[in-house]
Structure 1
């Protein structure tokens, strides 16, 4: 986990806001820590930072980077981070039940026609017959933690195929990649910039698409502490406005491709500061472009998908049957889609 900060007021630049803003920002140098993973799917925050959208809202942002969703949720609950993007997990719901966290919007989504998350097999498993998700019976499916988004995806895929799989918690994405490469686990599902990069290098095999099993899946959400959601409305709305402008720019450049070739290249170079930063641009560019999935406009939240995820967690005994979406979500900030 590490941090990265940038200060100083930058001029307001283009992009549609989730919420109206008139005149000067109401906040001034409001310090804020934003949790993130070094994934293309977190690009809206990176764009908002680099293009001055946070600064224009009066927000002095510092990033804190994590290697899995659940530790990020704990950081929000403890006050070590103020806002973040993460998948819905059993841990996040449990923290919401304790009054510690609230989902305030949606981020990454599976969308028909957009190349999304991939289902992967290790080379060893593929050679032994795991050439499609239908052959997952009895295989080891990698997850970070029990109740994570990886667990949810694996369960939905297995249910659709009518097979039983074994889940292997490995805590961190890096550990999963190493285990998949070495054949210690058989299968996994992950965002395309990682999946295609691994497959292109010959380290794994792509055997399916998550969207075929979970259409319109709300992959990640925007969330904060329950205290921020309830008591820091101006700051929370300012964060969402800046985040939404970053999402608009990202979608235009790499998803809808309406920003032109130069706009797409500029966006890839911006994201490269955070994603695959340890690789030369020439080696990182293709993977970043491959990772472009829709980030919801105005942080809209797909409540049908949220309800499905909560229902699965209840069926697995991961959360209490009494928990409703109201426990997890504050619907007053972003539109429901």
Structure 2
């Protein structure tokens, strides 16, 4: 009798384990895979990368960082992709006990486009330059980028035009001489006659290495589900490396989400991301410190209490992953 019951009890035990296993909930601030390297979070689900690492990831979709933070605080998520500025604010005010463990897409794919007769940033003074609004992210970053090229933004005629597609259309229509936009917006312009890229995205990030978003977890999750957190990061790093090695694979995976972008434009976009994939987890301490200093220099943080990097960043997960996978020397330097 004892032997007859054993298989049944074992089966019940296995069923009970499966029934109580909770999915790992990853909160993302987009409603479908975006045409940037951040899409690895969505595609790691679709292409089975999380499953191969033994973690059941469920995407929780919200529209903005505040909603992502609220989901974590309400216990409705285990990890969230949020803006670094929000994380610093939360850390400074003790509003949440969150730490960054990876960044699947640390840089915004910004570039500066201009009329073709402007061939050097030094020619910009006296010309009009479109920004989202005065003090906006694109305005602040472009100020640093142009300063690195020896151009004072104060010598330009700054026009607040709104979102990147609007700025791009204004440039194409000749209403502005230069502006900042993403590589995706640039590629989607139907007619680039008379326009050219003045500062490419690689040069843009090199001049202003500001990390835009990171994946954070509550410290409690880091303590109680460390193996799952490590598995999630390992899957994201592995997929980032695969896309870095084979850009066409990313273009093919993104085909259903490319909108008006043609297969050729998706391939061009994939190629443009060379060197920007988070092949080592996106946690470069030098860039994170630079980002923190840059954010604290903005008007929004004038009265915010100072924090230190160790208060909001935890490198142990990425370091464990790199110990297993090795360091990819093609980009994304994992400085400590």
Could you state the TM-score of these two structures normalised by the residue count of structure 1?
0.67
How many Å apart are 1:194 and its aligned residue? 3.5
Preserved CA contact (<8 Å) 1:196 1:290: no
* Match in the other structure for 2:9: none
In structure 1, what is the equivalent of residue 57 of structure 2? 60
- RCO higher in structure (CA 8 A, sep ≥6): 1
Indicate the SS of the match to 1:295: coil
Q: Which runs of no fewer than 5 residues in structure 1 stay unpaired?
A: 1-24, 111-115, 255-263
1:129-175 superposed Cα distances (whole Å, 9 cap, x missing partner): 65433344464442479463x344212113222412547483x5445
User: Equivalences for 1:230-249 in 2 at 5 Å?
Assistant: 232-249=225-242
In 2, the alpha carbon distance for the partners of 1:211 and 1:267 equals 19
Q: Which residue number corresponds to residue 156 of structure 1?
A: 144
Q: Relative to 1, partners in 2 of residues 1:321 and 1:267: Cα closer, same or farther, differing over 3 Å?
A: same
Structure 2 SS opposite 1:32? strand
1:305 to 269, 274, 287: 287
Aligned-pair CA distance for 1:31: 4.9
CA distance in 2 between counterparts of 1:136 and 1:199 reads 25
Where does residue 22 of structure 1 map in the other structure?
none
2:318 equivalent in structure 1: 334
The structure with more radius of gyration: 2
> Could you tell me how far 1:310 is from its partner in structure 2?
1.9
| Secondary structure of 2:215's aligned partner | strand
Range with bigger deviation, 311-320 or 181-190: 181-190
| Matched-pair contact (CA < 8 Å) for 2:27–2:61 | yes
The correspondence for 1:132, drawn from 120, 132, 154, is: 120
Aligned-partner Cα distance in 2 for 1:223–1:145: 28
Q: Report the TM-score, using the length of structure 2 for normalisation.
A: 0.67
Alpha-carbon separation, structure 2, partners of 1:168 and 1:328: 33
**How many Å separate the matches in 2 of 1:230 and 1:173?**
40
Deviation sequence 1:63-103 (CA, Å, 0-9, x none): 6375xxxx2x2122111765454664x34432343443432
Q: CA deviation at 1:286?
A: 3.3
> 1:96·1:328 contact (CA, 8 Å) conserved in 2?
yes
The residue correspondences of 1:78-117 to structure 2 (distance < 5 A) are 78-79=70-71, 82-85=78-81, 88=84, 90-98=85-93, 99-100=95-96, 101-108=98-105, 117=110
Give the counterpart of 2:253 among 270, 274, 279. Answer: 270
Which residue does the alignment assign to 1:205? 196
Task: Identify which range, 305-314 or 317-326, moves more after superposition.
Answer: 317-326
